[in-house]
Amino acid sequence: MSTAVPPLDSFLTEIPEYRNAKGKRYQLKALLLYVCLAMLCGRRSQAAIAEWGADYGPAVLVPLGITGEHGPSQATVHRLFKQISRAKLEAALSHWAETVLHHYECNTSEDMREPVLEGIAIDGKTLRGSKKQGAQEAHLLSAVSHRLHVVLGQVAVDAKSNEISAMDKLLALIGVAGRVTTTDALLTQRQIAQAILDDNGDYVMVVKDNQPTLLADIRLVFEHANVLADTISETRSSTMHGNRIEERQLWTSTALVGYADWPGLQQVLKLERTVTNKRTRQVRQEVSYAVTSLPPARGSAGQLLKLWREHWHIENKLHYVRDVTFDEDRSQVRTGSIPQVMAAFRNLTISILRLWGYSNIAAACRRVAARPALALAALGLKVET
């Protein structure tokens, strides 16, 4: 485990105390660290989080600032999740993530020839189990760093609204200046593109049928590639996963600059993806389109292909893990903002484990559970020897 991660506890002090002094048994920061470490050990539910302290005892509780044999009860954990300000928690965790991003700053690509484009993937996820139980705002919009796979921020989507309306809140929380925001087609909206530009950021946005005029214009460009050859660049890549060969070919064009009225448009993109099963010889092809505010001088075809591919880290390295490792979609908590608060702690847990170099989060949780003192030390907490 790396110990270079900026200490989390100093950022948790940004969350204001909301409890009355009378009857207060645990410091707020101690409770928050307790929940974090319990989740790092693979505890999923409120009951399991409470039981964690009893299982490990003073050896791990004291460094967290918790005295006694057992730690907080399930009722205490429940009240914490129910009463803490979701907005203040998300703001503190976002501040920590921003510090991490700067701490691990990287200015050049692996081949040392091109500047790194700092990508931020934004996508939404529904807490299905909580939604079935009637939880409000059970759909969450998250932002993840392409490079570090750290969650930079998360906001809840109002039940009477949609991801598009929540985007302003998320952009304000994370800040996109000097970075490239990548989105799927649902978030490919003029007002979102303009908001990113207004914050001195750039975008790569997938274009589908919800923007029919823009999509038709892009298709027309690549249908007349021979005529517009001087505006087009091309790159390709190939990877193998077991029996599957995946080939990608990307074309970019500047032909719509000055013609399309999409905010900040500098290039349009066409991606052809071919997947071949070596065993069955079955071939599947997909064609997708996108727009970007990056001109060729700042976003080459190779850089744009990398950004497009890495956008899906948010699904593979965050949402999938929350479902499979932390069983999120089967969680039926529904009271107040508890579903969102628990999701924020899952995001934090996954982010920390990614920074420690783990690719298999389930295996990482088992290792931390076996040696929690290592996690305490890596979090910057003093462990008595």
- pLDDT, tens digit, 9 for 90 and up, residues 39-53: 999 999 999 999 999
- 8-18 pLDDT, tens per residue? 988 999 999 98
SS (H, E, C) 248-268: EEEEEECCCCCCCCCCCCCEE
Range list of H helices, the chain: 9-12, 28-40, 46-56, 58-64, 74-83, 86-103, 128-132, 163-174, 190-198, 212-223, 301-310, 313-314, 320-324, 338-355, 361-370, 372-378
| pLDDT at residue number 133 | 62
| pLDDT at residue number 298 | 96
| pLDDT at residue number 110 | 53
For residues 154 and 317, what is the distance between their CA atoms, to the nearest angstrom?
Answer: 15
Alpha-carbon torsion (199, 202, 208, 209), positive or negative: positive
| pLDDT at residue number 213 | 97
| pLDDT at residue number 22 | 76
Report the SS3 class of residue 210: coil
Alpha-carbon torsion (149, 155, 156, 157), positive or negative: negative
| pLDDT at residue number 105 | 80
Alpha-carbon torsion (176, 262, 304, 313), positive or negative: positive
- 135-155 pLDDT, tens per residue? 566 789 999 999 999 999 999
pLDDT < 70 positions in the chain: 1-4, 106-113, 128-129, 131-137, 160, 332, 334, 383-385
Extract the tokens encoding 287: 């064609």
